[in-house]
Structure 1
């Protein structure tokens, strides 16, 4: 027997390597930069539009700006993490994607109805984006649950 203290599962996980892999950091910086660039682009476009804009156009610009800022916030949050995330980042990204898909689909359908055009294409394309985002959300939740279950298993074995 050694006199060294036993490490908890959390301590072992943290000592295995950097908390965020290079790939995760690249994704985080990409989300941050793309969100900021998108917000600047959409905001500039919105600000530079000549003449009075219809209410639905203001709503669309505000919605797209909000989504860009949300991705920038997500990227910033992820870059600053110093703890094991256990796929929390993927769950959050999936929910952002699902919310963006739902809201964008709703706006496009409202615009199609107000213009008197067919909503069929908007429903099909929007439905496809929502379905993909929903699948990614379910997968992210399942992955997180599996990682947390494994952590609890390791913690339980260690205490015995």
Structure 2
């Protein structure tokens, strides 16, 4: 944006207003409600399944159940954090959500590959590892896009602050 271009300077507040309206829209909030409910419901379902097993489960199964509950609770906590903010987040929620998605994808892909290596054929292990790698790459791309969007919004905010007396 040129310092000399008054039309470009007038567009900054409008562009930031549009971006923040999309960030705080009812649709955005409802998506976070859905994420929170899905995470909490998934954690509750696994916890009930675990609690109602008639026999003691093997340690590995207990570890997986605990990890699945932790993942569900992490998504529920994330959604609660976003919904409790009463100020613009400037896409900070997108970055945090993408980080969480990348972490969960790496852990799940690694655990799945290790399990396949222990119990499957070489082809099954390779297929699992490739699937995990594709999902990790997709999550990394989402994180990259979220960071870029956050930088863009912060740049707009800073430009508006510089122009406002």
Structure 1 gaps, min length 5:
1-8
Inter-partner Cα distance in structure 1 for 2:21 and 2:150: 19
- Contact map agreement 1:32 1:76 (CA 8 A) in 2: yes
Give me the CA root mean square deviation.
2.0
Change (3 A) 1:112 1:50: farther
Shift of 1:157: 1.6
Shift of 1:104: 0.5
Query: Which has a greater percent of helix?
Result: 2
Query: Do structure 1's residue 96 and structure 2's residue 100 form an aligned pair?
Result: yes
**Counterpart selection for 1:156 from 156, 162, 165:** 162
TM-score normalised by L of structure 1: 0.84
- Contact map agreement 1:39 1:68 (CA 8 A) in 2: yes
> Paired residues, what number?
147
- Contact map agreement 2:23 2:91 (CA 8 A) in 1: no
The corresponding residue for 2:28 is 24
Inter-partner Cα distance in structure 2 for 1:50 and 1:120: 35
TM-score normalised by L of structure 2: 0.81
Inter-partner Cα distance in structure 1 for 2:41 and 2:138: 25
The corresponding residue for 1:6 is none
Deviations along 1:109-152, whole A, 9 cap, x unmatched?
Answer: 12112225331111111111111100000000000011101111
Inter-partner Cα distance in structure 2 for 1:84 and 1:60: 36
Moved runs in structure 1, 4+ residues, more than 4 A? 16-19
The corresponding residue for 2:9 is none
Structure 2 gaps, min length 5:
1-12
